[in-house]
A and B are shown apart, each in its own frame.
Chain A
Amino acid sequence: MNKYLSTAIALFASVSLTYGQANISPAKPQSQKTVVMGAIIHTGDGKVIDNGYLIFDKGKIIGIGDATVVKLALTDAKIITANGKHIYPGFISPITNLGLLEIESVKATKDDSELGENNAHIRALIAYNTDSKVPATLRSNGILMAQITPAGGTISGSSSVVQLDAWNWEDAAIKKDDAMHMTWPVAPRGRGFGGGGGGRFGAAAGPAVDPNERINAVIAELNKFFTEAKLYTETTPTVTNTRLAAMKGLFNGSQKLFITADGQKEIVGAVNFAKKFGITPVIVGGDDAYLLTDFLKSNNVTVIVKQPHALPNNADDDVNMPYKNVAVLSKAGVNVVISIDGFWQQRNLPFMAGTASAWGMSKEDALKTITLNAAVALGVDKTVGSLAIGKDATFIISAGDALDMVTNKVEQAFIQGRDINLDNLHKQLDKKFSDKYGIK
């Protein structure tokens, strides 16, 4: 019996004794140097080590490589034997309201969307609920980090990157206020049911005006706001303005700018707008990005694709376009990240990468879109996103290919070297009622 197995048994034993989400505690800091041996290590930067080792101590990776060519003297280390199992960097969920919303239809649980059109001063981190029942259901599928992102308004405010095993939002934060989020105004494309969006930022209330005029008014107002914000943060203002002040990070490079834009005109408009202020934006959505790959590449713009499991936008589109989109962009040399709408849905993130692979890219490249590429886009790649010496020991061990639901089986997960509890509400209810019926 190897060491890992005994750990697993201990874990199950502890669960069977106690029920209830409240008993799932954040793991204690790493106390002993640990080595994982014999695993297939997917490093997250496109490489695979077929029979590898991974050593981590005090929460950081201190060794990684081919186990067949190295002799390790590890008398002081805890050893996890993971022969034939797969190691992946912890997956990262960008753009999510995880922890900001518990039950979609219950207003009292909704903290993800503030009133108003200009919410530059809004910060998602402080509303992130580490006691939500949802994060534990993501961890058990391999998602260990997320970018908690506010919605609402044309400028929605700042997101933060968190890890999903924490006592409170301060503990959880990996990078506070990593990005400012805004939505580029959209011209309506069709009449009748549904249509344009993009808010009324700066546009006068009252009777409907020509949609293009309205959009131009919103863009003019955004221009004015960004111009004034830049001046505000470069000088010593005499009047305090929290919105203008909140824009500081954008102009000194400490914060990124994420702009939601899907159509051709909107993507070009958004990128050119940001460039005018010396900012390289990240485009979120990017449904039509495949028509603009040269433009995106030459401007070094990352695209966060929304929801590969989506219907095509237009009746005439290739029925499999949403599946292929990631691969098309990636092959054209655009830096791509995959995201999913919502919060509870995030547990399907690895399968979105699997979909991208099924429709035209290698598994390792697909993996990058939910690990290293995401970390780069979020500005946290110095510490997470791939498995390399010096980075956080934030990774999972899966019995099989974690990008496929048939083989994904996360047996152990570590965040910053801490061996985290993979139990969750769903497993507990499963156990409770399986016991009732006397089935497995």
Chain B
Amino acid sequence: MKKILLALALVFSTAFLFAQQTYPVNGSYDIRQGLYAFTNANIVVNANQTISNGVLLIKDKIIQSVGTGTAIPKGYVVIDLKGKYIYPSLIDAFTSYGIPEAQRAAAAGGFGGFGGRQSIFTSTKKGAYSWNESIRPETEVRSIFTIDAKKADDLRKAGFGSVNAINRDGIARGTSAAVTLIDGKENDAMLNDQTAANYSFNRGTSSNDYPSSLMGSIALLRQTYLDAAWYKNQKEEYNISLEQFNKQQALPQIFEADGWANILRVDKIAKEFGKTFIIKSTGDEYQRIDAVKATGATLIIPINFPKAFDVEDPTEARNLSLAQLKGWELAPTNPGVLEKAGVKFALTTTGLDAPSAFWASVQQAITAGLTEKQALMSVTEIPAAMLGISDKVGSIEKGKLANFLITSDNIFKAGNIIYENWVQGKRFVVSKMDVTDLRGTYNLNIDGIGSTVLRVTGTAAAPMAAIERLGADSVKTNATFTRSGDWVTITFNLKKNPVGDVRLSGFLTSASPVAFSGDVIVNSIAAGHWSGTFKEAAREMPKRDEPVKAPATLGSLIFPFIAFGTDKLPAQESVLLKNATVWTNEKEGILQNADVLLEGGKIKAVGKNLSAGSAKVIDATGKHITAGIIDEHSHIAGSGGINEGAQSVSSEVRIGDILTSEDVNIYRQLAGGVTTSQILHGSANPIGGQSQLIKLRWGKLPEELKFAGADGFIKFALGENVKQSSSQNNQRFPATRMGVEQTFVDAFSRAKDYEKALSVKGNNVRRDLELDALVEILNNKRFITCHSYVQSEINMLIHVADSLGFKINTFTHILEGYKVADKMKAHGIAASTFSDWWAYKMEVQEAIPYNGKIMHNVGITTAFNSDDAEMARHLNQEAGKSVLYGGVPEEEALKLVTLNPAKMLHIDNKVGSLKVGKDADVVIWSANPLSIYARAEKTYVDGIAYWDMDRDAQVQVAQKAEKARIIQKLLESKNAGARTQRPMGERTPRLYHCESQEDYWAELNQMEGEHNHE
């Protein structure tokens, strides 16, 4: 019997729905006309137009007419909406709706045996596809999409009628499809089977090791654009992925790129390849709104604002960073900020715990500045236009699909009820519409209890009730009031007369005025009858006099959006630093009682008794002034991994693509007098990635950190790291120093052949970003910094370079440089080493602190570097150790961390010494800068005091006050009933060293997986 019922239900729900032309029906066809007329409605046609007292006619799936005073033809089911609202059903442009969850590659946990598996260099997918599994444009959602009744229901309840379904897996992800949220057959749900080509930086479930970093992803995508262009004009290879990639360029292009920094990265790619992307971001765009706006990109943004933190335990609250606290406060302003800036954007439910959380978040955004009009557009016409489905959905217009909502009120008003969501002419009831509102006061007469008053309050959907017995004892108690259709149940307990639970069950006997009658049950024993009559409408509870809420005060934006960020960046100064010990690093040597004049970001004058002119004068009596420190080997200010170690040669990756301005180590190092850093790729492979020289311009955008006009460099590496000595099951070539040599020989030989091939006109040579960088080296347009330790390998690379015709600019680490100093000197190779590190691995067992001194004395341009975010804070004192170990004269010692690194980076014409005309990158020290007692008091970059010890003290005070203010606000919000989360600190930004090998994507995806399962 049960089975038959189920079958009947199925037949019922599908057969009469729509005429599916090609599908046969078992039995007689049951095709309905689907004619409905909705009258007396406030029809919100779109964000700009509302029709009062309107009539909406639909036929089957389609809207027939929208207007007022429409004559209703015969045969229509008339639904009188009595002033209720009709809205277009909402559209979500970015969902995974109906996409099967992909299996993550088993035990992906790092390459080179850091995880438990072997390296997988090329695709395991069978067929003529891309070499890399994360390039999968051949994936088409239209062929993998299946209706998901549960998720469709959740989305419909939140008001959505159609969504864009995206397979969020891989870097080139293939096409998405727009579907309606019907619960029938996929054939009927499809609105646009190819809405867009989709992209991201995330490797996803690909089983390949490459790319293991953000910069690797960027390089792979750039190479794919080049490959696709080459593919069009070649006959050597058949490749479905590239063919599909090319075809999809005609579609809209959606890029999932989380966060404003990634928006800027996507923009760079867009400009390079002439693309326009719709970018799905994370909702932090308000932090750098100008830069986001400047990209001109259309966005899709989530509204999953951070939950309030539970800060009642002050020791736990200390875990929270300023960035977390300010993020909690300011994130809801994001949609409003984007609107004001004129950025076009759609809103998505992606990121919310559930679609049901959508409206509370939208209201939060509206409170924080988003207009209702923009909110509506961002879930109707904007996504419709993005997805090429404006002709079908997004507004209430004749000829469009009958996708609309019936609501009690303005959809944005708190307490609004979504009654029905019609999708393609099919009615989905969310909340019953034609139910009598039972709120009010009633006189009850209950057998055995007597005359009582029932008050039903609350909302129509969630009523609350109280019972009061009038007369002698005048007992009052709360009651539970439940309702099912016309049936009601009221349960209460008066404590005495009678003792025990009283349950009234009954039904509506009259709807206007409302009247009930039914049975009384006391302690589960039938005890007679009851009846109730309507007395008066529910009175609005007089509201307590709430103090008029001042408009919520919000903290100001800070740059960068972390601790020590400031709302106003310090300005460039004209300043005269007076009467100090000035270490010029020039032939003048160390000047006593001398002055330095900074103007227009440059050093204007150095000498005694300089005239200040209009410049601000700072008395530096007793202080020491030096050029800013230059760290030749640093790994700060990077994101998404600094090693692309999945392949032995990765010259295609660029640190410049993954700079981050939001790294507190920039500020910490300014506090140690550092002004310029070379950010290097790690040492996981023989040929690493392209380096990026930056200035520590705290608060500026990532692109603005770059040292303009500097030569390009690249990182090479030798020894234990590149042969993966610490790996248990290394499969990647090379595993010995012998193999390292051949890796270089092979790569440069290929580069030479490539260069030759390129020079032949009319050739369709495949552009290769990896070889492009090597050709630059061969042509002295890119320069090598090579990580090295023992003398044999140093000697080897010198020979390889000689034989293949390239130059080595710098050996870094170079801890056995003292053993081959004569050879390095003969080749004009510079050295950047540690002051005193040793004994941490086999290849440094003969590393000595006299290394720097010996190389310096042999005549090599020698520097001390950090490779460590901590050591970089006191490189001046590392230089001081050359006095201890080898008696290097103090003036020369300081050059180890200033002028000498400037020389080896080819920037000594701009920085590195106090010389008129050079950049005003200057440090004021409290004492001899080489001494342990020296503190950097002010650090200027381009004449801007990014570090100022006095200002720092003020910033710390202000920062504490700001945190206290937000914590107080959090306490109030918890008291007001907000949901809270445990105050866990942020993921601490990873500190990178040369040897930091990680699989960024595997870790990120695993962490998100864990988070999703919390």
Contact = CB atoms under 8 A, between A and B. Distances in A.
A433 B819 contact: yes
Interface residues of B, number: 74
A319 B668 contact: yes
Interface stretch (A167-175, A401-409, A412-420): A401-409
**Chain A, interface SS category:** loop
A404 B931 contact: yes
A406 B321 contact: no
B854 A430 contact: yes
B795 interface: no
A309 B987 contact: no
A189 B313 CA distance: 13
A188 B563 CA distance: 21
B857 A437 contact: yes
Interface in B988-1014: 988-991, 1003, 1007, 1011
B986 interface: yes
Nearest to B928: A406
A351 interface: yes
A220 interface: no
Nearest to B933: A358
Given A189-B984, A426-B849, A437-B858, A406 B841 contact: no
B416 interface: no
B881 A314 contact: no
Interface stretch (A101-109, A248-256, A386-394): A101-109
Contacts of A265: 315
B842 interface: yes
Contacts of B322: 315-316
B845 A103 contact: yes
B345 interface: no
B932 A190 contact: no
A104 to B, nearest CB: 4
Given A105-B840, A318-B956, A439-B857, A359 B931 contact: no
Interface string B956-993: 10010001000000000000000000001111111100
B877 A351 contact: yes
A295 B667 CA distance: 33
Interface in B308-327: 315, 318-319, 321-323
Instruction: Tell me which of A191, A348, A409 has the highest count of chain B C-beta atoms within 10 A of its own C-beta.
Output: A191
B858 A439 contact: yes
A71 interface: no
B664 A315 contact: yes
Contact of A189 (B319, B952, B1003): B319
B117 to A, nearest CB: 21
Which of A192, A263, A427 has the most CB atoms of chain B within a 10 A radius of its CB? A192
A134 B839 contact: yes
B588 interface: no
Given A104-B841, A351-B932, A408 B984 contact: no
Interface residues of A, number: 54
Contact of A437 (B664, B821, B990): B821
A385 interface: no
A343 B839 contact: yes
Given A405-B880, A406-B883, A434-B854, A104 B890 contact: no
B935 interface: yes
Given A355-B932, A406-B880, A426-B849, A190 B984 contact: yes
B436 interface: no
Given A189-B984, A193-B987, A193-B988, A103 B841 contact: yes
Contact of A405 (B842, B884, B952, B1003): B884
Contacts of B1007: 191-193
Nearest to B323: A315
B819 A316 contact: no
A405 B956 contact: no
B869 interface: yes
B935 to A, nearest CB: 6
A156 interface: no
A105 B725 contact: yes
Contact of B932 (A134, A316, A343, A354): A354
B255 interface: no
Contacts of B959: 316
Interface in B832-854: 836-842, 845-846, 848-850, 853-854
Given A309-B870, A309-B874, A190 B848 contact: no
B839 A319 contact: no
Nearest to B671: A319
A440 interface: yes
B884 A409 contact: yes
Contact of A439 (B819, B854, B885): B854
A193 to B, nearest CB: 5
B562 interface: yes
Given A319-B671, A344-B840, 7 more contacts: A104-B841, A315-B988, A316-B959, A343-B839, A358-B933, A404-B931, A405-B931
13 contacts: A103-B845, A104-B840, A105-B726, A311-B873, A314-B985, A315-B563, A347-B836, A358-B935, A405-B881, A405-B930, A427-B850, A429-B818, A439-B854
Interface of B: 315, 318-319, 321-323, 562-564, 664-665, 667-668, 671, 720, 725-726, 818-819, 821-822, 836-842, 845-846, 848-850, 853-854, 857-858, 869-871, 873-874, 877, 880-881, 883-887, 890, 927-928, 930-935, 952, 956, 959, 963, 984-991, 1003, 1007, 1011
Interface of A: 102-106, 134, 141, 188-194, 263-265, 309-312, 314-316, 318-320, 343-344, 347-348, 351, 354-355, 357-359, 403-409, 425-427, 429-430, 433-434, 437, 439-440
